[in-house]
Structure formats: structure tokens, C-alpha cells
Chains A and B, each alone.
Chain A
Amino acid sequence: MSLFSFTRRGLLAAGTALALTVGTLTGAQAQTPPGVLIVGQIAEPKALDPAAVTAVNDFRILMNVYDGLVRYKDGTLEVEPALATDWTISEDGTEYTFDLREGVSFHDGSPFNADAVKFNFERMLNEDHPYHDTGPFPLAFFFSAVETIEVVDDLTVKFTLNAPYAPFLSNLAYPTGLIVSPAAVEQHGSDFGRNPSGTGPFTFAEWRSNEAVVIEGNPDYWGGAPDLQAVVFRPITDANTRTAEMLAGGIDLMVEVPPVALSEFQGAEYTVHEQAGPHVWFLILNAKEGPFADKLVRQAANYAVNKTALVDDVLEGTAAVAAGPTPPAFAWAYNEDLEPYPYDPDKARALLAEAGAEGAELTFFVTEGGSGMLDPIAMGTAIQADLEAVGFDVTIETYEWNTFLGEVNPGLAGKADMAEMAWMTNDPDTLPFLALRTDAWPEAGGFNSGYYSNPKVDELLEAARVATDQDERARLYKEMQTIVQEDAPWVFVANWKQNAVTSDRVEGFSLQPSFFLLLDDVVKN
């Protein structure tokens, strides 16, 4: 007994002393310094070379270090001048001539000019370019229409396309089109991704692997020096931990707040930001075979799914109900007259009866998670319940994301009747072009995994892609949306609203519909 009582006291004392000394002596939790914004990111970036990366996570850093020739106007997805001050498009839509901004230098001191622009695009596109081996460049195909790039004079550059291609300007505004310093690429070669140099409002300072990427305000920025002294991007992959860091004051700005955690940030110390983005979450229906080969059954599925309940209850209001294939974020191309399919189980049953498809058996591919997929398992089971309520017999098969893509992208024929899918694009052209045309069936190399085919839609999409007049493009896309909604190749479910939380020390922050993070106007007290 004596042995224990001695030790018990010792243990207790030692334990308490340890916790207190380590906790207090090591300097409690330092407040994050003013002028320095600490951002909780979702992952470690791959590289800070805009041509080489594909993840939104990396783009959030890049957009603050680099500029493109053009950019999206604040709060919209419309293109405005950036490093190019003006441009002209030839009559036939194949020649784009850009006037470049004068007196801009890269962070490494080398000048920005037409040669730099030519270098950037040739590095990505030309396999014989001396620095093509600093790739691979997975998204270089955004510019595959570019035939030649010509330096007209020091501040004028001309792109010639092999055919008219309307999304070209929008693609230039995408991070893949950001302009890097040729001198820095020549100096660092394939290590450029860790030694980036651009023209943007922030200069690269430091990258501590798995810990932080630090960028500092660029006092010489052509658009005016940013208020922030520095920004620190911390990779915090676990959403619960990211939430805890925000609550504990370890970060000032948190992106991608899980819906269930939003209620933690209702207090006055936090601001929750929301912004609908160019995202659409839908169910691909197999229009080639099985019950969904009948348009009535596809429409029945659209009536049967309670989309309002999905976005309000499952997604806790982090998404809006989708009406058709084009997200409302593309304001100019979106058909305002389109109303979402209402939740009407009786109408769904009537359509099923009319089609003679009562009790149809469906195989439903669901994924565990993945880029833009929101809460796919919970959504999948809710949809299953809705469909069963009107008389379908639904079997769910669940796959891990990469496996899921391997099953769905080659087409649903012989495997499934429906599958979850989500897309996020930077223009209204890409998604319908790759996923709704007859020429985009999987065997032709597209993503039309449900084999939808309507010659009129094909015609409209081809025409909209080559037209250079925006009003004409808008008219074509609006007509396409009406037809596609009626044909119901998908169940149109939701448009994701991206969210972020800032602490009360952060001012001047707003989310962009592009889902990029622009920090040059942000202030931290």
C-alpha cells in the first residue's frame, strides 16, 4: 500500500506539472500577427507552376502570385483585361491580337513582354520547346486550338487558331493561362514549381513542405500594392481539424467548411461567406438501354427526386437546386426562364404508368467522395429513397472516387442505369460539349456516359462553340438548355455554393464565382 500511495501522489503531481509547464511555458497560443493572413487550405499543393497543376487547391495560391493576359471581372465569370490591356478578334474568329501592359516586370526583375507570352504558351504546347520537359502539362489542351503565336512587336502578340474557338478567352483567364517568368524557368528548370516567379500582387517567399507556403505583398504591383504584408497557406487535409483550427484562432480564413460545421461559426467573431459557382451536380441516366431509354421514365426520375430536401437537409443549404445543365453562375449564358423540375411524386408515378415502367429495377453507381461531389453517399441514399417511393427498385453500388471514374467514364452500358456526377468548368461550353453531344459518347473519347443524343442539341453546341459574338452564343446556349431539360438525359440536382469562414479580424474578403481565392484587397487587423 505504501508503495502505491507514494507513487499515486507522484504521478498526479508529475502529470499536472507537465501539462501546465509545457502548456504555459512554451508560450501559450500566440495570436496570429496583424497584416499576415493565415489560410487553412485543404491539401499540400503539388507545385506553384500554373501550367503544371490541375487542382483548385493549388489555383488558390497561384492566382495571387501570377496574372494572366485576361482575368474574370470581380464577382462574375466575364473576361476583363489584366496583363493584356486590349485585344481584337479577327472577323473569322481565328486570330486574337493582344496589346500588352507596359512597364510590368516579373518578381525576379525580368521584363514582361510579347516574347514572355510566346515562351509561356510554346512551353506548354510545343514538344520541341527547350523547356517542354519542365512539364507534364495536363491541361495544355485548353489551348490546343492555338496554331502559332507571333510576336508582332515588344508589346503586341498574335495567336492564330486552327479553327474558331469561342472559349479561348475564358481559358486564358483560367490558371493554366497564367504567365510565368521565362527567366525563372530557364534558371530553375523542372524545379520552377518550387521557385515560382510571376507578375502578381504577391511574391513567393517560402515553401516549407507539409507546413506552409508563404507569399509576401508585392509593393511594385501594377494594380497597386496589396494591404496584406504576407499570406500563409497551411495544408490541413482533415475537415474537422481545419474547423478546430479556425475555432482555436490558428487560422484566419478557412475554405470548404463542411456543412455540418457551419453552425459553429454563427457567432459575431466569424463571417460565413457563400458564393454559387460554375458547378453542377447531377445523375447521369443511361439513355441507351434499360428503363431510362424512355424519355418519360427519365422525366419521372426528375419529378421523383426531392431536390429541395437534398440541398436543405443533406447539404445544409450549401447548394441551390439546379434547373438544367448550365449553372446560373454563367449569368450571360444561363436561361432564366428555366424552372427546376418540381418535386411531384404523383406526376412521377403517372409518367411511370404511362411508360409501363412501374417497379423498374435500377442499378445506381454512387461514389464515396471526390472533387465537387459534395456528400455523395448521403445524397445517393436520399435519392434512392425518393425513387423507391414512386415505384422504382434501386440497388446502390458504391465505389472509391478513382475506381468510380474508371467505371463511369467508359460509359454505363451493361453496368448501371444511373450514376452520380459533378462538374466544375470555367466556361459554359466545356461541360455540354464534352458530356451531351452525340460525338462525345465514351467510345468517341467524351464524357457522355449516358449516351444522350439529340441532333438539334449537337447542332446548337457546335454553333455556340465557334460563334464569337457573346449575344449569339447566349441565344444558342439558352435554346440548348430548354431542349436538354425537356429531354432529361440527367436528373438535374444541385449547384454548389462554395463557402469560407473568416475571423472578425479580416476585412474586404469575398469569394469569387470562379472558386479562386483573390486576396489583394483583403485587410487583416
Chain B
Amino acid sequence: MGRYILGRLISAIPVLLGITVIVFLIMALIPGDPATAILGSYATPENVEKLNRDLGLDKPLVAQYFIWLGNMLQGDFGTSFSLNRPVIDEVLERFNGTLILAGTSFVICSVLGIMAGVISAANQYGWADKGITFVVLLGISIPSFFLGMMMILFFSVNLRIFPVSGMWPIYGTRDIWALLNHLVLPASALAVVATGVIARLSRSAMLEVLRQDFIRTARAKGVNERGVIWRHALKAAMVSIIPVLGIQAGFVLSGAVYIEIVFQWPGVGRMLVDAILKRDILLVQGGVVFVAACYVLFNIVVDVAQSLLDPRIKT
């Protein structure tokens, strides 16, 4: 197992290097440069040239890439032009925000999705199954940013139960309740689609398992129905549900971009969108590399978890 994990980690290195090259090239190739974005109306060629020199963007591309990569390997991600602070500080702070949002959302969609899938499968073609299927399809079909805006209108503007935006109250204590209060709407809006997908796939995974012999054996030896479903069948079905969870985790992470914009959540997705529009090259590069590294790491964790659950996967 140790060797398997080590092998997976080593194989991630070329992937990450490839990502640095791609993100660097994309930022170098897209039209528009940071100096023009900063100067706006006053971007005369003379002013742009001077500012590019001040920002260190007048060096050849290859040199810029290796300077960036070298600094990054030493932990220095550079300084953001648009925020005037170290990229790594901003990315870590924002990533923390995204983790809280996406993490909560992921827990909600996993628990609700699997529960809904199991209930559906246990009552196949019954009205519970039909009801859940209907709700789930509705959830999958609503774009999350639209749902988010509707939730703001209903819960925040009309009922004034939850705050519209942000992660912390502007005034007052910053405790877990204050955070939860701000988290409920965005985390729910973000969880809806993934819940639906997980519910659909859990349902079919469960149905497959429920047809197998060991379930009949369990029933025959007198295990009660709840035990059959939740203990025996779900455990076996998890082998095919876990990879789905892994994919949905990525989906929740990328879906967070829209939700972060609608709810002004201080997360990494919103940061990247702002940074791209302002051509804040170092912030985009640093942010993307950081997120990609986390994504690669997460996939390794999922693979390892799966190999632990399913001995058929060679380690």
C-alpha cells in the first residue's frame, strides 16, 4: 500500500508541471496585458511600457516562466498586481473559504444523495421512488446560480431569515453560528445538483446489489429489512458510489465559482474570475496551480480509499 501511494504521488509530478506550463502559456497568450488593465483609459504605449518594466513583464517569456517556477518551488508565488499582497496569502485565505463552502456542500449532497438513492431503490417504482425521482430531476435541471438568486430573493430579501452575502457578519461575534448563518443558503444552492446526481447513481448501484444472492441470504437468515438495506446492501454498493462522490467533489468545487459570485463568498473561484478580468497574471497562475494540486491530491485520496474498500483493485 505504501508503495502504491508513493507511486501515485510521483506520477502526479509531471501532471503538475504540465499544469504550470499550460496555465503560464494561457495567461501569456490571451490578449490584453495587466498594464493596460491597470491604466485603463490612460494606457498609452509609453505608459504601458513603463509599467510593464516596473512589473517585471518586459523579460522574455521563457525567462519569466523559469523565474516564476523557481520562485514557486521555494514557496514564493509572487505578489498580486490587483490586490498588492502576496499571492500565497490571498490563495490560502480564499481556499479556506472555498473549502468551508464546498466541504459543507459535499457533506450535504453525499448524505442526502445517498439517502435518497437508497430509499428510492428500496421502494423501487413505489410512490416514494417516483416522488424522489421527480424532485431529483428538478434539482439536476435548475442552474445553481439561478437557484442561488431565487433563494436570496425569498429567504434574505422577503423573509430576512438569512444574510444575502459574505461569510461573516460585518459586526458582531465571529462564532460558528454566525458562519452557519451565512453558510446555509450558498451551501444548499451548491449541493442541489450534486445531490441529484448522487441520488440517481446510488439508486442504480443499490438496485444492482439488491438483486444479488447475499441479500437474499441475509433476508433468509432473518436480518430485518432496515439492516439488509443500510448495512449489507449499502456497504456493497459503496464500491461503485465512492468514485461518483469523487467526481462530484470536483463538480462541487468548480460549481462553487458561480455560487461564490452570487453570494459574494470569499472563495478561490471568485478570486480567479476577478483576477482573470484584471489580467492579474501571478494571481491566476498561483491560484490555478494551487487548486490543481489539491485536485490531483484529492483524486489520489479517492483512489486509495477505493483500493482499501475493494480488494480487487491491485495495489
Pick the contact of B39: A29, A138, A240, A241 (CB < 8 A). Answer: A138
Q: Which partner residue on chain A sits nearest B40 by CB separation?
A: A371
In angstroms, how far is the closest chain B Cβ from the Cβ of A251?
A: 9
Q: Which partner residue on chain B sits nearest A232 by CB separation?
A: B170
Say whether A136 contacts B274, CB under 8 Å.
no
In angstroms, how far is the closest chain A Cβ from the Cβ of B208?
A: 19
Residue B139 at the chain A interface, CB threshold 8 Å: no
A250 to B170, CA, bound (A): 9
Which residues in chain A, 250-279, are within 8 Å of chain B measured between CB atoms?
Answer: 250
A11 to B112, CA, bound (A): 10
Given known A-B contacts A241-B264, A424-B41, A234 and B166 have beta carbons under 8 A apart: yes
Residues of B within 8 A of A136 (CB): 51, 54-55
Residues of A within 8 A of B47 (CB): 138, 141
Given known A-B contacts A29-B163, A232-B170, A244 and B31 have beta carbons under 8 A apart: no
Which residues in chain A, 175-223, are within 8 Å of chain B measured between CB atoms?
Answer: 193-194, 209-212
A386 to B56, CA, bound (A): 46
Residues of A within 8 A of B38 (CB): 54, 138
A55 to B264, CA, bound (A): 20
Q: Which partner residue on chain B sits nearest A43 by CB separation?
A: B274
Say whether A22 contacts B180, CB under 8 Å.
yes
Say whether B39 contacts A250, CB under 8 Å.
no
Residue A47 at the chain B interface, CB threshold 8 Å: yes
Say whether A241 contacts B226, CB under 8 Å.
no
Say whether A423 contacts B41, CB under 8 Å.
yes
Given known A-B contacts A244-B157, A402-B31, A23 and B42 have beta carbons under 8 A apart: no
A79 to B169, CA, bound (A): 40
In angstroms, how far is the closest chain A Cβ from the Cβ of B34?
A: 9
Given known A-B contacts A26-B181, A237-B274, A405 and B157 have beta carbons under 8 A apart: no
Given known A-B contacts A237-B261, A237-B270, A248 and B43 have beta carbons under 8 A apart: no
The interface centre, meaning the residue of B37, B41, B119, B128 with most chain A CB atoms within 10 A of its CB, is B41
In angstroms, how far is the closest chain B Cβ from the Cβ of A276?
A: 18
In angstroms, how far is the closest chain B Cβ from the Cβ of A200?
A: 20
Residues of B within 8 A of A236 (CB): 165, 264
Residue A406 at the chain B interface, CB threshold 8 Å: yes
Say whether A4 contacts B84, CB under 8 Å.
no
A381 to B33, CA, bound (A): 28
Say whether A210 contacts B94, CB under 8 Å.
yes
Say whether A247 contacts B157, CB under 8 Å.
yes
Say whether A54 contacts B39, CB under 8 Å.
yes
Q: Which partner residue on chain A sits nearest B173 by CB separation?
A: A27
Which residues in chain B, 169-228, are within 8 Å of chain A measured between CB atoms?
Answer: 169-172, 177-178, 180-181, 184, 225-226
A239 to B171, CA, bound (A): 23
Residues of A within 8 A of B43 (CB): 405, 409
Our count of residue pairs bridging A and B at CB distance below 8 angstroms stands at 178
Say whether A447 contacts B123, CB under 8 Å.
no
Residue A33 at the chain B interface, CB threshold 8 Å: yes
Which residues in chain B, 7-56, are within 8 Å of chain A measured between CB atoms?
Answer: 30-33, 35-47, 51, 54-55
Given known A-B contacts A33-B171, A52-B84, A23 and B181 have beta carbons under 8 A apart: yes
Interface flags for A399-443 (1: CB within 8 Å of B; 0: not) read: 011110111010000000000000111000000001000000000
Residue A12 at the chain B interface, CB threshold 8 Å: no
A434 to B35, CA, bound (A): 18
Say whether A406 contacts B161, CB under 8 Å.
no
Residues of A within 8 A of B90 (CB): 209
Residues of B within 8 A of A238 (CB): 261-262, 264
In angstroms, how far is the closest chain B Cβ from the Cβ of A202?
A: 17
Say whether B94 contacts A446, CB under 8 Å.
no
Q: Which partner residue on chain A sits nearest B270 by CB separation?
A: A237
The interface centre, meaning the residue of A30, A38, A210, A447 with most chain B CB atoms within 10 A of its CB, is A210
Residues of B within 8 A of A138 (CB): 35, 38-39, 42, 47, 51
A7 to B97, CA, bound (A): 33
In angstroms, how far is the closest chain B Cβ from the Cβ of A156?
A: 31
Pick the contact of B161: A23, A55, A371 (CB < 8 A). Answer: A23
Residues of B within 8 A of A54 (CB): 38-40, 42
Residues of B within 8 A of A26 (CB): 177-178, 180-181
In angstroms, how far is the closest chain A Cβ from the Cβ of B146?
A: 11
A247 to B41, CA, bound (A): 33
Pick the contact of B32: A7, A23, A371, A402 (CB < 8 A). Answer: A402
Residue B311 at the chain A interface, CB threshold 8 Å: no
Residue A81 at the chain B interface, CB threshold 8 Å: no
Residues of B within 8 A of A4 (CB): 119, 122-123, 126, 128
Pick the contact of A250: B31, B164, B184 (CB < 8 A). Answer: B164
Residue A13 at the chain B interface, CB threshold 8 Å: no
Say whether B279 contacts A38, CB under 8 Å.
no
Residues of A within 8 A of B300 (CB): none
Pick the contact of B164: A32, A33, A245, A447 (CB < 8 A). Answer: A245
Can you sample 20 A-B contacts with CB below 8 Å?
A1-B123, A3-B119, A27-B181, A29-B160, A36-B171, A43-B274, A44-B274, A193-B84, A194-B85, A210-B97, A211-B266, A212-B170, A236-B264, A237-B261, A244-B152, A248-B157, A402-B37, A405-B36, A409-B36, A409-B43
User: What 16 new A-B contacts, CB under 8 Å, besides A1-B128, A209-B90?
Assistant: A3-B225, A4-B122, A27-B177, A27-B178, A47-B84, A138-B38, A141-B47, A210-B271, A237-B264, A237-B274, A241-B264, A250-B163, A402-B279, A406-B31, A425-B41, A445-B44
